[in-house]
Structure 1
Amino acid sequence: MAFVVFEAFQQLFYAENFNNGVPMDVTFSEVLKGGMLRWGLWLATSVGLVYYVRKFPVKSGYELVRKLLAYGGLLLLVLLLDIALAALVNMPADEKSWSVFTELFQFYFFHKAPIVFVFLVVVILLVHFFQYKSEIEVYIQELGDLKNTNSKLYKQMKTTERNVMDTAKVIQVRVGNRSQIVPLEHIVWIEADDYCVKIHDQQGKAYTLRNSLKSLEEKLPSDYFQRIHRRSIVNLKFIERIEWGPSASVTMQNGLELPLAQSRIKSVKEAMN
């Protein structure tokens, strides 16, 4: 509407200063009415263009040239139709002749064709924008649903993995060029060692495993193994005695005494019970 109002003032300016074919006694309201009528007709004729573009949008770079040619041909037809309608609605009532129509057609073609062309191109771009905007919103919603589904599956897999570790009674440790199978029931305690852990068995042997103590704790069956300190996990069945005082400690059956963190006393008591 702002553009149509501006165009009406422009027409009056041209009429008063350059006498471009508009009667000198024309009023602003008449010019505005004519502009609104023309743009209303052009909007109406663009409906077919909108329908075609929505039905046959550009979906890939491979079909870009072919679609642009089709859009260009349809755009040219709509443009010529718009100019012809502009000439028809502005023909004087007492001069209905082909020569007058031709003259008005030429005038509006050179005067309005660039603006109408840009208008129709913007229509094509807007149709693509809103169509793909809707598709992208649906796609984002689907991605959100997929993320939620994958999160649930991930949790199920972690639970399954832990259950498998609970039922699997061994840990596989790489020793040189071979793999050593260490039964869980033979493990006395596990010690944190920088970025690795040391697994101590009941025969006094120690095996190094490249894993964190926290990660290994999550995989071990909690009814057998308990974290008693930030640096150690023990097998409950190998505990000889537990001191619950301020200097809490756990003594294993092989005589090894390990510190018991105050923050771990409650969970160890529950496990023992």
Structure 2
Amino acid sequence: MFSSITRFKRLLVFVALAVMLTITFETAQQLYYINRYEIAFGVTFFELLKEQSYQWILWMVLGFSLFSYIKHTKSETNSRAYYVKLILSILGLVVLNILIISILQMTFNGVSFSGSLFFNEYIVFYIFQKAPMYTLGYIAISGILHLYFSNEKLQIKVQQLSDVKVANELLYEKLSAYTDDKAQVLTIKIGNKKRVVPVAQISWIESDDYCVKVHTEDGDSLSMRTSLKALEGKLGANFLRVHRKAIVNMDFVKEFTLANPPKIILHTQDEIQVSKSQLKGVRDFLGTLEIS
């Protein structure tokens, strides 16, 4: 909340500075033309600044309705109707600005109201002097507000996703106390069919080019398009890598011999060579087991 208020204050400061620079520029520009073409005499910078200031303050006050409109319709920014209404709102605000300024200026000058004078001298003058700047200003403000509220929506979405992530992590921690994330079955494609093999029935797995052969306790040998490395992370702690080409289900181990070369003999009578690099791991694993 605090960071949101800070961003909004920064936005207001930015808009205020932009308006101040615009007022100063227009005042200097108007003074230049008055002096250059001798339109009037004795006009000072601060007199013109005062006149420009109230006109732009009016522009800002009326512009708050634009802020309110964009804020309350920020969920509709993907629709064409939203942009049509926004453009019409900007044009309406510009017209309203010109009407009010013309009336005020006519009053300040002490001129009796006349429809033709009001339109020809004031409305037309301020259309050429103010309408382009006012329109561009409102468009710029609309763009800034659109980006601001889009960022706000994005921050809310990120926070929601963060909350979901935290909730899922807590749920995972609770569930992991009762189960693990290791595979319980392997799904192996055979022709146009898929066979589901319980991991507990797999005696060992060997590498076979770009595939692996999954050997089961029933003596079946099923080809599966994957790698030993990919399977190793999915299998339980009882599956041990004994060779670069073999993973063994240590629950099926019947004998372990240190003959040259060392090998494991399974209850299925399969014999799997143990590599030197994996020998220590196999011995450590079997050191806690009674081999029958």
In the superposition, the TM-score normalised over structure 2's length comes to 0.69
Number of positions where the alignment pairs a residue of Structure 1 with one of Structure 2: 259
- Pick from 256, 260, 267: which aligns with 1:241? 256
Gap change, CA 1:88 and 1:228, over 3 Å in 2 = farther
Q: Which residue of 2 aligns with 1:108?
A: 126
Aligned runs of 1:177-192 on 2, under 5 Å? 187-192=202-207
Identify which of 33, 55, 74 aligns with 1:14. Answer: 33
Please report how far the alpha carbon of residue 14 of structure 1 lies from its aligned counterpart in structure 2 after TM superposition. Answer: 1.0
Q: Post-superposition shift, 1:24?
A: 1.1
| Maintained 8 Å contact 1:172/1:180 | yes
User: Match for 1:262: what amino acid?
Assistant: S
1:231 match: 245
Check 1:36–1:229 CA distance in 2 against 1; reply closer, same or farther (3 A cut). Answer: same
Matched, 1:32 2:36: no
Give the direction of change, closer, same or farther, for the CA distance of 1:115–1:183 in structure 2 (3 Å limit). Answer: closer
Q: For 2:213, what is the secondary structure of its paired residue?
A: strand
Map 1:183-222 to 2 at 5 A.
Answer: 187-200=202-215, 206-222=221-237
**Which stretch of the first structure deviates more once superposed, 9-18 or 50-59?**
50-59
Contact 2:98 2:123 in 1 (8 A): no
* Partner Cα separation in structure 2 for residue 199 and residue 251 of structure 1: 17
3-state DSSP of counterpart to 1:97: coil
Q: Say if 1:46 and 1:78, in contact at 8 Å, map to a contact too.
A: no
Q: Does 1:80 align with 2:93?
A: no
Please show how residues 123-162 of structure 1 align to structure 2 within 5 Å.
Answer: 123-146=141-164, 162=182
Aligned twin of 1:2: 21
Are residues 106 and 258 of structure 1, via their aligned partners in 2, closer, same or farther at CA, if it must alter by over 3 Å? same
Mapped contact 1:42–1:82 kept (Cα < 8 A): no
2:112 is matched with which residue? 97
Listed as ranges, the gaps of 5+ residues in structure 1 are none
1:252 aligns to what?
265
Inter-partner Cα distance in structure 2 for 1:183 and 1:125: 59
Contact 2:90–2:138 (Cα < 8 Å) also in 1: no
Identity, % of aligned pairs?
A: 28
1:67 to 85, 97, 101: 85
Contact kept in structure 1, 2:62 and 2:93, CA below 8 Å: no
- Matching residue of 1:54: 71
CA pair 27-231 structure 1, distance change in 2 beyond 3 A: same
Say if 1:179 and 1:53 are closer, same or farther in 2 by CA, change over 3 A: closer
Deviation at residue 196 of structure 1 after TM alignment: 1.5
* Structure 1 pair 255–31 and aligned structure 2 pair: CA distance change class (3 A): closer
Judged with a 3 Å threshold, the aligned counterparts in structure 2 of structure 1 residues 265 and 28 are, in CA distance, closer, same or farther, namely same
How big is the alpha-carbon RMSD for the aligned residues of Structure 1 and Structure 2? 3.8
CA contact (8 A) 1:83 1:109 kept: no
State the Cα distance separating 1:241 from its structure 2 match.
2.1
SS in structure 2 opposite 1:98?
coil
Q: 1:239 to 1:9 in 2, by over 3 A?
A: same
Secondary structure of the corresponding residue to residue 77 of structure 2: coil
**In the alignment, what sits opposite 1:266?**
281
Aligned pair in 2 of structure 1 residues 18, 195: CA closer, same or farther (>3 Å)?
Answer: same
Which amino acid counterpart does residue 222 of structure 1 have in structure 2? A
- Offset at 1:26? 1.1
- For residues 47-88 of structure 1, the C-alpha deviation after alignment (integer angstroms, 9 at most, x for no partner) is 223223332354332424652465256324433345336625
AA partner of residue 55 (structure 1):
H
